[in-house]
Amino acid sequence: MTRMQEQVNRMAETPALTNIKQEGMKKKIIMNWLMLALLAVQASAQCKFSNTAFKGGEFLSYNLYYNWKFVWVRAGTASMYTVQSRYNGMNAYRSSLTTRGSSKVDKMFMLRDTLLSYCSTDMVPLYFRKGAHEGSRYTVDEVWYNYKGGNVQLTQRKLNHKGEEAIINATSQECVYDMLNIFLRARSFDPSNWKKGYAVKIPIADGNSIQKSQLKYRGKTVVKADNGKKYRCLELSYVEWDDGKYKEIVRFYVTDDSNHIPVRLDMFLKFGSAKAFLTNVKGNLSPFASVVK
């Protein structure tokens, strides 16, 4: 197009036509923002889940045991506390899980883990942090969740035992969880139609990766807790993909009722194995229907 033709075209473009084009551009921009907002809502909505298992104010406590030279010794305590809170201006659940080794076991192996998570009231993961002091090493894993653009966007931070920090960003088209947020969501699963061997696939994020993980159903059994009560329980295994095969990380025994409270946990750790047995429950949502008399 020549310069003269460009001038003719500009002269032919009336103010009314220019206003129409500007209005059209504004509408297009608004529509684009609305589409992005809708995609963000859709991504978040896909990860929503109805909570039927707990309420704010629930407190669980446990005794910890550690296998030391083929002998099980009392290793300390663990507690989990879930409260209703706020996160970035929205209603949320804040859940914390802490483990504390006894002074006797500390001399053999230091065990100080603190896990913290936030999720929306409809179980959408928002944040996760794990500070682990195991032996002479202290590490930190953090995960921030964002649901803009129709996908799950993750910011992951890893601080290793040498004090070296790494931050990475990842995007997933499916819902992603962490160790604590998936535990909260899994408590509201309906296992009534599950058969032995049934597995739920779950992508799990830590500070620097997203693991292929599964929750496997192993059937029902009766477990005696450290509060002197026996509970009918569902037996579940949490497994992660490692070196070409699935490796069991934790085995859960949760009450066979709507609370799905862990009565016993068997933990397969890098430095050995540990167990946790329930000692006390406060603020449970529903009455226990799984106590064996």
pLDDT at position 272: 72
CA 229 to chain centre: 29
Distance from C-alpha of 169 to C-alpha of 153, rounded to nearest angstrom: 7
pTM for this prediction: 0.81
Distance from C-alpha of 116 to C-alpha of 82, rounded to nearest angstrom: 10
**Angle (CA) 271 276 280, round 5°:** 155
Place of tokens 């298992």: 53
pLDDT at position 137: 80
pLDDT at position 166: 95
pLDDT at position 45: 58
pLDDT at position 40: 38
pLDDT at position 25: 57
* Segment 162-219, tens digit of pLDDT: 889 999 999 999 999 999 999 999 999 999 999 999 999 999 999 889 999 999 999 9
Distance from C-alpha of 186 to C-alpha of 200, rounded to nearest angstrom: 10
The CA-to-CA distance between both ends of the chain, in Å, stands at: 91
SS (H, E, C) 25-80: HHHHHHHHHHHHHHHHHHHHHHCCCCCCCCCCCEEEEEEEEEEECCEEEEEEEEEE
Q: What parts of the chain have a pLDDT lower than 50? A: 1-18, 20, 29-30, 32-43
pLDDT at position 276: 95
pLDDT at position 110: 63
CA 270 to chain centre: 21
Distance from C-alpha of 273 to C-alpha of 65, rounded to nearest angstrom: 9
pLDDT at position 182: 94
Pair 270, 241: CB distance under 8 Å: no
